[in-house]
A and B are shown apart, each in its own frame.
Chain A
Amino acid sequence: MTTAGTDLPPVDRRPRPGRRFTARGGSTPFLLIVPAALVLVLVAGWPLVKIVMLSLQKQQDSKYALFHNGGTTSWVGLHNFAEALSGSEFWTVLYRTVVFTAVNVVLSVVIGMAIAVLLNRVSRWARVTLIVVLLFVWAVPTTVSTQIFAWLFNNQYGVVNYLLGRLPGVSMQGHDWFANPVSGLGVVTIVVVWGAIPLLAISLHAGITQVPRDVLEAARCDGAGPWASFRHVTLPYLRPLLIILVTLSVIWDFGVFNQIWFMRGGHPEPGYQTLGIFMYSTGVGSSRYNSGATLAILMILALALVMVVYIRQLFRIGDAE
């Protein structure tokens, strides 16, 4: 084993059964990871360092001077963070983002699970048909799906208003779903959940098929009904998979960007701003790089806990070993 950088953890030199040939790689593994490690440092590490620096600085002169190395920059410590956290806008946006994420994750996982269970009950032709539809839905880019739903919910000629108007006593002609941000974000939720269902339903369905039949049989013999078997047999078996799917969903839904951005034609009103949109509008839209970078760091910190759960779960099920 070659000597590597001093910051690396000590090598586990115990011989592992069955790994004798693969363990002695000499310098090979290091040569193999050099390009990947370089990419990680250049396109992830460097921007991360840069964003931390930006968040601790304040640009004095013109906001455009940051490009072309102009203007004076001074270190202001945690001033940007204090400023962001003391404003009420940040907390409103954070609250909206958390509620939006919670609603989206719960709806996606519950509907995904229901479809997964359903897939297990139907005939083969019905299952194959539904899975093919799910695959098509899965493959549609979020940008495209958002525009489809914007058209479906169009106030003048949208088919949703037409169909709802057919219900007795309902008049939806010209109803604008986006006038009120809460109902507008409701439509965005439909887009997000629609796009999230396929991955959840298909993985959970595959998980359900791997629950041992004899255990389910035993539960039935002991008098468990369908709900009790699901709750006490299937669900515990699905737990590791569910943890991964839920953490991934939280990370994705917290960071939802395209669906909101496209739904509002690239100009989301204040009521539509989630943390990602707020950060982008501040940092890129208004070129306030320091404030934007601060918000980006707060966003990453908010997700850090979820990331830890996800990565620990991957190590626990042995996938990362």
Chain B
Amino acid sequence: MTTVAPDPIAAVPANTPRLTTVRASVRSPVRPRRSAATGGWNAVAMVIAGVLGFPIFWMLITSVKTSPEINQLVPQFWPHHVTWSSFGEVLRDPIFRDDLLNSLIITVATVLISLVIGFAGALAIARFRFAGRRVFVVAVLVVQMIPLTALTIPMALLLDDEQLKNTLTGVIIVYLMFTMPFTVWTLRTFIANIPRELDEAALIDGCSRWQVFYKIILPLVAPGLIATGVYSWVLAWNEFVLANTLLLDNTKQTLMVYLLQFQSSPTHGADYGGLMAAATLTALPVVVLFVIFQSRISSGLTSGAVKG
């Protein structure tokens, strides 16, 4: 049954950032004169990779430098004394631990809820034609496009009415506004790429609709579910404006808000080692997930993602 691999990319024209496609183009015999220039282009590519990667490198080495090494007029491009004290300082901070836990709770809850709700909605628009389908599709797309900052005021007031301001529950509900449309839209692409003939064959063979769902669609969409889940994770983890507006106690905030307060607090103001350590720890959960799952994620992006 799983022999038919869904290709979620086919629906999105010209959007296949997969290394497999990349490989195919290397061996094409189109440009015989290319080899001479290739060396030069390779060098240009490496310079660009170096420039683009430098900020990340600088964050990492700053986080393991000692304080005197950081505050030098002539910066050191490789640390002489590697120290983990900046990481220790951040990890020992009870507020960091609270905020890490809050970020995890909010992100996990948001991702799971939006996957379940979004999958149902995606199934409806990918597999059924019904009254109001187009209205629903346009609503999903429009909501995805509305800048989050524009809705902070009414959201703060509405959550206050419902006694949900300054609670993680309130933030989780509000985060569905941007993760759920994204899951609907991305999963729709994955489901639409499973050939309908499979559904029909199963129905002819006597499967019920429910059986078609969990014997055919669910296994084939599983990679799409993982990819969508990972990218929703990134969206929710990285969100700052709403968290900053809706969560008031520093024990209830998220890591993004922690980062801002770390930078502007008088005790940590010039502590770039600590700041870079905190930044590294904040970025780690998304960078790791993203780089592992990237090949599956990219397809959904230009078909209507919103980057926080």
Binding site for B on A (CB under 8 A): 1, 4-5, 8-12, 16, 18-23, 25, 28-30, 32-33, 35-37, 39-40, 42-44, 46-48, 50-51, 54, 66-67, 115, 118-124, 126-145, 147-152, 154, 156-157, 159, 162, 173, 194, 197, 199, 202-203, 205-207, 209-210, 213, 216-217, 237-238, 240-241, 244-245, 248, 251-252, 254-255, 257-258, 261-262, 265-267, 276, 279-280, 283-284, 289, 292-293, 296-297, 299-300, 303, 307, 310-311, 314, 317-320
Contact = CB atoms under 8 A, between A and B. Distances in A.
Given A36-B120, A152-B55, A202 B45 contact: no
Nearest to B135: A8
A137 B286 CA distance: 11
Interface of B: 11-19, 21-26, 28, 30, 34, 37-38, 41-42, 44-46, 48-49, 52-53, 55-56, 58-59, 62, 70-75, 116-118, 120-121, 123-125, 127-143, 145-158, 160, 173-174, 176-177, 180-181, 184, 189, 196-197, 199-200, 203, 209, 234, 237-238, 240-241, 245, 256, 259-260, 263-264, 272, 275-276, 279, 282-283, 286-287, 290-291, 294, 298, 301-308
A86 to B, nearest CB: 21
Nearest to A211: B14
A143 B282 contact: yes
Given A11-B130, A141-B237, A47 B151 contact: yes
Contact of B149 (A30, A115, A207, A276): A276
Contacts, number: 376
A23 B149 contact: no
A128 B205 CA distance: 46
19 contacts: A1-B131, A18-B197, A19-B129, A36-B117, A44-B177, A47-B158, A136-B291, A137-B53, A139-B287, A151-B272, A156-B73, A159-B75, A205-B22, A237-B14, A248-B305, A254-B147, A265-B260, A303-B147, A314-B303
Contact of A121 (B34, B116, B200, B307): B34
